[in-house]
């Protein structure tokens, strides 16, 4: 009897120990955890507000002012926008930017997807090739542009030397008005595709293998498996990366600035490069901010329409 009573007492003590804390303690603990989480987020929010939101709002304000650092700003209404619109380089900058974006989609959007498909099929040295593909991303953009500037040199550049070795006609590459923009697209594609390839590769590896096995049993060819299995399963990633690539290529600056300087004959002047010229060459910060606001409005409108269309298509599917 004593043993049974002792076990009963021990069970009661265990239940007492395992009993949940009072509601007040749980509430205080939850509040402490939330305050700790918001404390960690506060630093990021402050930095984001200070270095992203404030400059964007400040640029919108300066777009309607005559502003020079060190002097008092003067409101001029839409005069900055009118002056920018009358600039002969305005049309060329937008035309070059849109052409660059289109070429980047045609060249730089398909290549990372194809490389990801190839890497996904490898059975040996997959990690090594991932590193090789990602290496250009780790090179500083200016260093990468300088290397390509030497590569494109029409005299002693490696590109023309290789063409001469193969007994093929040489090219002016970035020094030719007809070939400069395409040359910059190649540079941008090479320098930035590593991250895109890894994202595609992660999406491909998340596709259930049973889908491919079923497709093979049905006699589907390689192209049919890609069309009916791979693309539908990675559709969301493809659409999001396309949006991000369009936004990024519309803001191309490093390649024209370092390699061509906007030339030859304004063939590579982009919107962002023109903003740089207004601000740091013409000392016209009002015009630079006006052009920035135009670019912001266009990209914001495009993003809203793009997301709306993709959401509608997904709901219809």
pLDDT in tens, 184-224: 999 999 998 888 999 999 898 888 888 888 888 888 888 88
pLDDT at residue 17, as a whole number: 47
pLDDT at residue 21, as a whole number: 56
pLDDT at residue 145, as a whole number: 92
Report pLDDT digits (tens) over 104-141: 988 888 888 889 888 888 878 778 888 888 999 899 99
Report pLDDT digits (tens) over 157-180: 899 999 998 998 888 898 888 899
Per-residue b or e along 177-187, where b marks 16 or more CB atoms closer than 10 Å to that residue's CB: eebbbbbbbbb
pLDDT at residue 131, as a whole number: 86
pLDDT at residue 227, as a whole number: 85
- Give me 6's structure tokens: 């002792």
CA count, 13 A, side-chain hemisphere, 265: 6
Residue 3 has pLDDT above 70, yes or no: no
pLDDT at residue 310, as a whole number: 83
- Give me 126's structure tokens: 């997959």
pLDDT range class, residue 23, cuts 50, 70, 90: low
- Give me 242's structure tokens: 């396309």
Residue 16 has pLDDT above 80, yes or no: no
Give me the mean pLDDT over the 22-26 stretch: 63
Residue 14 has pLDDT above 80, yes or no: no
Residue 1 has pLDDT above 70, yes or no: no
Report pLDDT digits (tens) over 268-278: 999 999 999 99
Give me the mean pLDDT over the 30-57 stretch: 85
% of the chain surpassing 70 pLDDT: 91
CA dist list (Å): 3 to 6, 12, 49: 5, 14, 68
Closest residue by Cα to residue 184 from 168, 172, 173? 173
Q: How does the average pLDDT of the chain come out, rounded?
A: 85
Report pLDDT digits (tens) over 246-259: 999 999 999 999 99
Rounded to two decimals, what is the model's pTM? 0.82
% of the chain surpassing 90 pLDDT: 34
| Pairwise CA distance, residues 53 & 69, whole Å | 20
CA dist list (Å): 15 to 6, 10, 20, 151, 208: 14, 9, 10, 76, 46
Residue 102 has pLDDT above 70, yes or no: yes
pLDDT at residue 183, as a whole number: 93
Choice among 55-64, 294-303, 306-315 with the minimum mean pLDDT: 306-315
Residue 149 has pLDDT above 80, yes or no: yes
Per-residue b or e along 45-77, where b marks 16 or more CB atoms closer than 10 Å to that residue's CB: eeeeeeeeeeeeeebeebbbbbbeeeeeeeebe
pLDDT at residue 225, as a whole number: 85
| Pairwise CA distance, residues 202 & 208, whole Å | 12
pLDDT range class, residue 5, cuts 50, 70, 90: very low
| Pairwise CA distance, residues 12 & 315, whole Å | 56
């Amino acid at each position: 009897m004593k043993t049974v009573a002792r076990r009963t007492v021990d069970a009661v003590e265990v239940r007492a120990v395992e009993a949940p804390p009072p509601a007040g303690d749980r509430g205080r603990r939850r509040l402490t955890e939330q305050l700790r989480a918001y404390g960690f987020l506060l630093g990021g929010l402050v930095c984001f507000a200070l270095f992203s939101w404030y400059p964007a709002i400040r640029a919108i304000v300066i777009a309607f002012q005559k502003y020079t650092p060190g002097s008092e700003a003067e409101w001029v209404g839409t005069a900055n926008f009118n002056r920018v619109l009358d600039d002969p380089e305005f049309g060329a900058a937008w035309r070059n930017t849109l052409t660059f974006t289109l070429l980047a989609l045609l060249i730089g959007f398909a290549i990372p997807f194809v490389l990801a498909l190839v890497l996904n099929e490898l059975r040996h040295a997959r990690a090594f090739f991932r590193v090789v593909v990602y290496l250009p991303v780790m090179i500083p953009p200016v260093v990468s542009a300088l290397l390509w500037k030497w590569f494109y040199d029409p005299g002693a550049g490696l590109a023309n030397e290789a063409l001469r070795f193969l007994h093929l006609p040489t090219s002016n590459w970035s020094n030719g008005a007809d070939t400069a923009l395409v040359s910059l697209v190649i540079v941008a594609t090479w320098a930035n595709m590593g991250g895109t390839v890894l994202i595609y590769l992660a999406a491909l590896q998340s596709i259930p293998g049973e889908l491919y096995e079923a497709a093979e049993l049905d006699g589907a060819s390689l192209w049919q498996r890609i069309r009916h299995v791979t693309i539908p399963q990675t559709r969301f990633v493809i659409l999001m990366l396309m949006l991000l690539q369009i936004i990024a290529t519309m803001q191309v600056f490093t390649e024209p600035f370092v390699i061509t300087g906007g030339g030859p004959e304004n063939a590579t002047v982009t919107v962002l490069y023109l903003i740089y010229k207004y601000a740091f060459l013409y000392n016209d910060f009002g015009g630079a901010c006006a052009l920035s606001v135009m670019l912001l409005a266009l990209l914001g409108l495009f993003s809203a329409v793009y997301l709306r269309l993709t959401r509608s298509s997904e709901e219809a599917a």
